[in-house]
A = this chain, B = another copy of it.
Amino acid sequence: MADRAIGIFDSGVGGLTVYREIARQLAGEEYLYLGDTGRVPYGTKSPSTVLRYAQEAAAFLVSHRVKMIVVACNTASAVALADLEERFRLPVIGVIEPGAHKAVAVTRNRRVGVIGTEGTIKSGAYTRAIHAIDPQIEVVSVACPLFVPLVEEGWAEHPVTRLVAEEYLAPLLQHDIDTLVLGCTHYPLLKPTLRSLLGDDLTLVDSAAETAKSVREVLHRDHLLRLSPPAAPRFFVTDLPTRFEQVGGSFLGDLLPNVQQVEIG
């Protein structure tokens, strides 16, 4: 069991920011990554549709005999985590709880902002996860639907993106938050723009590092850390690999080898 791969899925390329961090912290593991690029994005779709897609993505990974599933997509984590745990009887780790824990740990004034896709924000999953730890924290959430297309266009540091960010973040700044959760795996690429807009006093919380820590803890707890020599990661997508390889490179900061198209629906 310990020598099986860690399965990671996302709606597309965004989850590569999470994969990168896990692979950095756990370099000896084997990884299978699935990007559902044929049906991307999840963030504008309804919870029932995202749940179905997440079930199909997880089933694909389970059919490849993974030892754990990482849901490297905030929208899917928000609606599908409990269902996947029950359905597949494997450790399932999402990105929302780790991000919520980090936000609670770092906020000083106990006012936390959360930005994400429409699906993630509407689900209220971050607010619930933060309040489960500390119900006194004020959580202000804003959906930012244009951030994903702007990042995918390669405009993460474009003046247009700064203008869009000013408009989206205005309600958060009015609440005097001191911590902002980047509740979408595309958003770490916006850090320079957000930082220049928000200043250095505000803490940006990116779930990737915290999620990797959770993965490590669970593998350790369940005696599932890999002992065999490391194997090369494999990447699967549900559309042609071309665009995933191109855009994914900027998320991974490296070339993407071994990308293969599969059907999962």
Chain A residues with a Cβ under 8 A of chain B: 37-40, 44-46, 48-49, 145-146, 149-150, 152-153, 155, 159-160, 163-164, 167, 238-240, 242-243, 265
Bound CA span A145–B153, Å: 7
The contact of A163 among B38, B145, B163, B243, by CB within 8 Å, is: B163
Chain B nearest CB from A100 CB (Å) reads 26
In the bound complex, residues from chain B placing their C-beta under 8 Å from that of A145 are: 149, 152-153
In the bound complex, residues from chain B placing their C-beta under 8 Å from that of A37 are: 45
Closest chain B residue to A159, Cβ basis:
B163
The contact of A38 among B49, B146, B239, B242, by CB within 8 Å, is: B49
Q: List 17 A-B contacts (CB under 8 A).
A: A37-B45, A38-B45, A38-B49, A39-B39, A40-B44, A46-B239, A49-B239, A49-B240, A145-B149, A145-B153, A146-B150, A146-B155, A149-B149, A159-B163, A160-B160, A160-B164, A163-B163
Bound CA span A235–B45, Å: 18
In the bound complex, residues from chain B placing their C-beta under 8 Å from that of A152 are: 44, 145
Can you tell how many copies of this chain the complex includes?
Answer: 2
Bound CA span A160–B45, Å: 24
Bound CA span A163–B265, Å: 39
| In the complex, the 5 A-B pairs of residues with the closest C-beta atoms, listed nearest first | A46-B240, A149-B149, A49-B239, A39-B39, A265-B265
Chain B nearest CB from A145 CB (Å) reads 5
In the bound complex, residues from chain B placing their C-beta under 8 Å from that of A153 are: 145-146
Closest chain B residue to A52, Cβ basis:
B38
B45-A239 in contact (CB<8A): yes
Closest chain B residue to A265, Cβ basis:
B265
Chain B nearest CB from A154 CB (Å) reads 10
Chain B nearest CB from A236 CB (Å) reads 14
Bound CA span A242–B44, Å: 11
Bound CA span A242–B242, Å: 33
Chain B nearest CB from A224 CB (Å) reads 35
Closest chain B residue to A161, Cβ basis:
B160
Bound CA span A243–B49, Å: 13
